[in-house]
Structure formats: structure tokens, C-alpha cells
Amino acid sequence: MRVLIQLRPSPDVVAAVADPGATATTADVADGLPGVALDHSFTPVAVPRPVPATGGDPLSLNQALTFSLAAEDATVMVRGEISDDELSTRLTLLPALHRDVVGVFADPVIEPNPTCGGDGPVGDWHDVERLLDVAGLGAEGMDGSGVALAVLDTGINTAHVTGRLGRDLTLDATRSWNPDGVHGTPGGFPVDHGSMCAFDALIAAPRATLLDLPVLLSRRPGGSALDGMLSDAVAAFAHLRTVLEAQPAGSRALVITNSWGSFSPRWDFPVGHPGNYSDNPAHPFNLIVSSLEQAGADVLFAAGNCGRECRDSRCAYPDRPITGANSHPGVLSIGGVDTAGERVGYSSQGPGRLTSRKPDICSYTHFSGSGAFGDREPDSGTSAACPVAAGVVAAVRTVWPASRLAPAQLRTLLRRTADDRSDVGFDFDYGYGVIDASGVISSLRRRAARVA
């Protein structure tokens, strides 16, 4: 089983791992853990310590937290494998045999969210442009200019995306990132799922700056061409923390779109096990997501394609399929509707596992757009809905950086202005409703007038 191992080495080692200008290896952190085949190609990652308010619970994400990367507070994560035959024994013995071991966690397979079914597209990306009032956003100066929009997926092919959009795009190669062992140039990866996500994100934010992070191209033994390991997402988020902290505090703007998730408990520890990912707020990835959101990043995850009416064949959770970071209280979990505003049958329904009220909102999918899978195939799944919504968030951040409107405030605004599709304000099919960019514009105008 692939695992993440959290350690507390000496403060000087923690400081070296946390310093983006230094280089620390797995051997520097954990040279020899009994029964663990360490992956020495993986660069160790510093995991910040959550610090609650006085009397708070450090294991709850549903509260205000600060995060410390100080050498005396942070821990370090490496990855490796433990034989299935020895798993239970090693999990028990590791902390006793090695005093630096804090915990052992699942490193589950993560996969993109393509859709099931063979229905043709409903409308095209120009319909989405109209529904998102992209002209209205542009008139307010909200076009994504200067906003970093990170696409964590299979890599982007800028030539293809540019050709389909009919306009140039901006991609910052220096702030992009590849997992260890993945070779390729940012913006130069084969046309696939990641190109679709990039195209869809640029519908509402045509002048955003793309960052290319192909986390789904890392390989596991026996894996497919389009899956990765959660540990690579941990490393990607750690990289994005340095990207965010390099921005001036008064104009921070980083939007992260994630159209992937963990579909099966096969690669996870059981619910209730301290190493579990799906339901565990203390898993290192869930903590790193929290720390990045607290630092000013907007994080969006696809809700997934495990809706009851049309489940993806990979969906192995019998209920509550919105798991792990896709159900994190600090992210926007995005369901899918077509351009007629009807929920698509594959869009996962809540409740979520880390927090109940998921998905947060729905966005548009199943339209003709990127042509990443052929001219007749729609941009589909919550894989498309998530970057469409991320584009709206990036557009807003052009004028309203995190210093003016914190990520939690923007999430509240998007929920409050969503076009409600129920009688109760929230339901587990649509969340709070369908994203309404015109409503967002009106609300921000009122907010600006109050603070003027």
C-alpha cells in the first residue's frame, strides 16, 4: 500500500524542507524506516501545524485556524510503500521503532472526473459565456488580468487551447510545476483533460495567467495514463503556497481548480483509522488545503461524477461520494448543470464527508467547447463545471484580491447570489444553486458603495 509518512525531524531539517531555496531529500528526513520502501524520488514536503483559537479543537476544520510553518511547529511528509502482508504490524510498530514518526496516512489514487453516458452537448461555450455575463464582468474590469489561475490536472496544451479560443492566452512557466518524475514543458503537454479544464477556466477570465501543474501524470505501478497519487497534490499545494506568499500581501490572487478526486476506498484506510483520507480532517492534504485557503487562495474542487442517476463506473463509495478535500469546508465544491440550467445526472450529490453541505453550488457543463476529446464530444462532467466556476472567481479577483474580500467571504457571496433551485435555500442536488455572475456583480457594486 502506498502511504504518506509524517515525521517530526530536528528543527534544522524542518527549516531546510520548508525553505524553497534549499534542497532536502527523503534520505535527509528519514534514512531508514523499518518495513517501509521509501520513495527517494519524492521531494519531502513541510506540513504546517494547525493552531486553533484558545480552547479550540486542532482536528476540526470548521473553525478559524492559523497555520505555522515555523521549524519548531511544522512536520515533514515523505512517501513510500508498505507490503500489504505487513501493513497492520508496521502501522503499529513504526511510531515505536522510529521516534520521529508522527503518523502514517493513505496516499490514495486520484483520477480525473470525465463523465459517463453518451449524450451530445447542450449548447456551446458561447452560451456559457452569455450565461456567465462575461461581457458584464469585463465592463467591471473583471477579466482575470494579473490573477494566477492554477490548473492541477493532466497538463495544458496552449497551442490547442489558443486555437479553440481564437485568442492568445498567458501561461507562466516559471510558477508552474511538475511532479517528480514527470517530464514535459508547461503548456506543451498532449491535448487531454487538462487542456479542457484550461479552456473552460478562460471563458470567464480570458486574461488570467495560467499555471500548469500536471499532478495526474505521475505514474503508479499498474496505473493508467490518467491517474496520480495524492502525495503529488500535497507537493503541488506546497509549491503553490510559495507562489502565493511571493505575491504582495495587498494584492494576493491565486485561484486553484481541481477536477479530480478519490473514487474508491480501496486505496484508503478505513473510516475511523487515523491514516484515513476520505473522512479525516487531520490528513496532511486536508491540512495543507486549509493552510493555503487561510493564506488567501481560492480553492475549487469538482464534486465528482457519482450522481445517483448516472454513476461513473469507478464510483465505489456506496453513499456520500463527495470525499476528502472535495468536501473540505474551506473549498468550493462544484456540481454540474447543463446550459438549460438542469442538473446533469452524473453530478455527485451530498452530504459531503468532511462537511455536510456539499456541493456548494453548481456551474455549467456538457457543452461544446475545448474539443479536447474531439469536435463532437462535449466538455463534460463536474470536471468542466469546476474550471468554469474557477474562471468566475478569477475574474472577481481582478478587482477584489483576498485583502479586500477573503476567500471565505467570496464563497459566502457565491452561495448567497446563486440561483436557488429549491424551496429551502440549500439541497444536496444543487447546493445553494447555480452560479450567477450577474448577481455577484450587483452584490460587489453594493459592497464597494458601502466602503467608499
**What is the residue-wise DSSP string for 103-162?**
EEEE--EEEE----S-PPPSSBHHHHHHHTTHHHHHHTT-S-TT-EEEEESS--BHHHHH
Amino acid 131 reads: L
- Residue 223 in grid coordinates: 496505473
Closest CA to 177 of 274, 45, 52: 45
* The pLDDT value given to residue 223: 44
Q: Phi/psi at 289 (nearest 5 deg)?
A: -60, -45
Amino acid 276 reads: N
CATH superfamily of 125-451: Peptidase S8/S53 domain (3.40.50.200)
Contact 394, 204 (CB under 8 A): yes
43-74 CB burial, b ≥16 within 10 A, e <16: bbbbbbbbeeeeeeeeeebeeebebebebebb
Residue 254's H or E segment, with its range, is strand 254-258
94: helix, strand or coil: helix
Mean pLDDT by 10 residues, the chain (452 residues): 90 93 89 83 93 73 82 93 74 69 89 69 96 98 98 98 97 96 95 97 98 87 57 96 94 97 90 94 95 96 91 85 96 97 93 97 97 93 97 98 97 97 88 97 94 72
**Residue where the block lists cell 493532466:** 154
- Residue 291 in grid coordinates: 493552510
- The domain locations on the chain are 2-106, 125-451
439: helix, strand or coil: helix
**Active centre residues (catalytic):** 153, 183, 383
* The pLDDT value given to residue 114: 58
Distances (CA, A) of 71 to 52, 242, 339, 348: 18, 16, 50, 40
For the entire predicted model, the pTM comes to 0.93
**Residue where the block lists cell 461524477:** 305
Three-class SS of 272-321: CCCCCCCCCCCCHHHHHHHHHHHCCCEEEEECCCCCCCCCCCCCCCCCCC
Which residues are CB-neighbours of 239 under 8 A, at least 6 positions away? 177, 213
The gap between the terminal CA atoms of the chain, to the nearest Å, is 56
* The pLDDT value given to residue 225: 39
377: helix, strand or coil: coil
Describe the strand order of the beta sheet including 109-112 as a list of residue ranges: 228-229, 109-112, 260-261
CB atoms within 10 A of CB 351: 13
Rounded to an integer, what distance in angstroms lies between the CA atom of residue 283 and that of residue 289?
10
Rounded to an integer, what distance in angstroms lies between the CA atom of residue 363 and that of residue 436?
9
Which residues are CB-neighbours of 316 under 8 A, at least 6 positions away? 263, 264, 265, 266
